[in-house]
Amino acid sequence: MRDGHIRPDWPAPASVQAAVTLRAAGGASQGEYSDFNLASHVDDDPVAVNANRSRLVEQLGLPEAPCWLEQVHGHEVVHLDDPEHTRCGDAAVTGSVGRVATVLTADCLPVLVADRAGTRVGVAHCGWRGLASGVIGATVAAMGVPAGELMAWLGPGISQGAYEVDATVRDVFLELDPDHEGCFLENARRRWQANLYALARRLLAASGVEAVFGGGFCTYYDHRRFFSYRRQGPCGRMATLIWLR
């Protein structure tokens, strides 16, 4: 961890740069969005959000402003190298130096992907809906290289102990693969504790990606470092960014 952000601990080539922002990094946002909120779709002051985004570029030494997506909890992948790309999607990939692929999260799991040659990178926003709809497989396919040449890193998301879901969510994943049963634990309320990290690892493996790093965070319990929608209700968002230099 560095001042204001986390650098992924994974064996990516030197050409691959990535970071996850933290909620308290000397930002301009106030109240429930304090202080380094980077999302414009919440009810934060737009002036504060723009100030935080400008500081982010300076703080990380970004080659250009991030591409902020309009996330919809789906599986669409934005190809940043396409000059006519839209911003509506829950993942982004690029092979261009200096283009910054970015997702926003506050309990959902950000997943970074890079090829071993250091020529392609991507990032996916993985809530349960995105995972169930295939955002990981779509991102791996969009990378345009064999899955065996890819590595992934799992960023800060909500842990199993804090993530209660109903049987409907569990059933969605069991319909995809009965072996997903091991990613859910029944609790005393006869509901289910879902393990987003385990689901992501299984879905990455199913897509052919075996080199997976990261995990072990919890946005819900680590209130000092992370926003958590489930903990706070209205809140800000962290950014997970990846780019080539």
Q: Tell whether omega for the bond before 35 is within 30 degrees of 0, i.e. cis.
A: yes
Strand pairing class (101-105; 238-244) = antiparallel
For the full predicted model, state whether its pTM sits above 0.95.
yes
User: Which residue in 215, 11, 18, 7 sits closest to 117, CA to CA?
Assistant: 11
Amino acid at 122: G
Q: In what order do the strands lie in the sheet with 164-165?
A: 164-165, 192-194, 184-186
CA dist., res. 192 & res. 184, Å (int): 6
Residues of the chain with pLDDT under 50: 1
The count of structural domains within the chain is 1
Which pLDDT does position 228 carry in this prediction? 98
Q: 149-198: per-residue pLDDT in tens?
A: 999 999 999 999 999 999 999 999 999 999 999 999 999 999 999 999 99
- CATH code, domain with 215: 3.60.140.10
Which pLDDT does position 3 carry in this prediction? 66
Residues of the domain holding 135:
5-244
Q: Cβ distance 78 to 92 under 8 Å?
A: yes
Which pLDDT does position 1 carry in this prediction? 46
